[in-house]
Amino acid sequence: MRNSKVLAKFRAGQPAMFAQLGFYMPHFVALASSVGYDAIWVDLEHRAFDPREIQALISYFHMYDIDCMIRPSTREKAVLYRYLEDGAAGLIIPHVNDVESARDLVQKVKFPPVGDRGIEGNSLEANFGLDTAGGRSALVEHALRETFLFLQIETPQALSQVEQIAAVKGVDGLFFGPADFGIRIPYMTEAERVTLDQAMVRVANACKANGIMWGSMPANIDDVRRHAELGANMHIWGHDLRALRAGLAQNIKELHDITGS
């Protein structure tokens, strides 16, 4: 069974580096791994993947030894833990607005005694049964130690409960979503209104107080620096479309420079 690079980095006191993928591109997995990324965030919330595409894509993550973190489009229990069975190292759940939802998600994706996840020992997670031939307790122990659950804090309601959410046993990290939070700021009352930076700092402090990971979405390299200053454990910088645009822009510039056109 494969160990998580993200969790290894966290336990060593080092930040984990994430790229982002929203399309079925197995070669992106190979390239990200080759340059040293620890994980790739695969977005199913805003992008469409067939379930078989996800299964096939995760096999490339195992081939190239890089963590797959899935952002699902559903909270259906069996679907969530099936992503883990298929080999994902972790899940990141959008729009978790209260502590009750946080507890419910832990119940769905963590094995007992932490949660109530169902077990199946013949999937890629268990090396198709080769690593559970002696019993499935090894799978339970491995999953509790080597899979992770991130929850997204994206609304004023979530921020108001962030300290309680961060304290839920089985939550491994929080992610502050500035885009969704930002569009809600104008509708906050004067008493509760905060800046994006103030909200992010509160999320960071809640995570530090509970010894769990945290990160946020940078819009530019200055944001990445700010997250590092605040001690973020996960850094997301390497979006598939942004990387392709940057590479193509550089290539066309070189062609124009050479040809004088």
DSSP 163-175: HHHHTSTT--EEE
Which token pair is 175? 């992610």
Q: Order across the sheet with 213-216: list the strands.
A: 213-216, 173-176, 148-153, 90-93, 67-71, 39-43, 16-21, 234-239
Give the per-residue pLDDT at 111. Answer: 97
Give the per-residue pLDDT at 192. Answer: 87
The burial class, CB within 10 Å (0-12 / 13-18 / 19+), for 157 is middle
CA 86 to CA 56: how far, in whole Å? Answer: 9
> Which segments of 172-259 are extended strands (E)?
173-176, 213-216, 234-239
Contact 151, 104 (CB under 8 A): no
**Phi, psi (degrees; rounded to nearest 5) at 175:** -130, 120
Give the per-residue pLDDT at 191. Answer: 85
Q: Is the peptide bond before 72 cis (omega within 30 degrees of 0)?
A: no
Give the per-residue pLDDT at 261. Answer: 86
Q: In 10 A of CB 59, how many CB atoms?
A: 16
Architecture of domain 5-259: Alpha-Beta Barrel (3.20)
In the block, residue with structure tokens 């969790």? 7
State the average pLDDT for the chain. 96
Beta bridge partners of 17: 235
In this prediction, the residues of the chain whose per-residue pLDDT falls under 50 are: none
Give the per-residue pLDDT at 180. Answer: 97
The type of residue at 160 is S
The residue ranges of every structural domain in the chain are 5-259
Which token pair is 236? 């997301």
Give the per-residue pLDDT at 94. Answer: 98
User: What dihedral do alpha carbons 111, 141, 232, 59 form, nearest 10°?
Assistant: -90
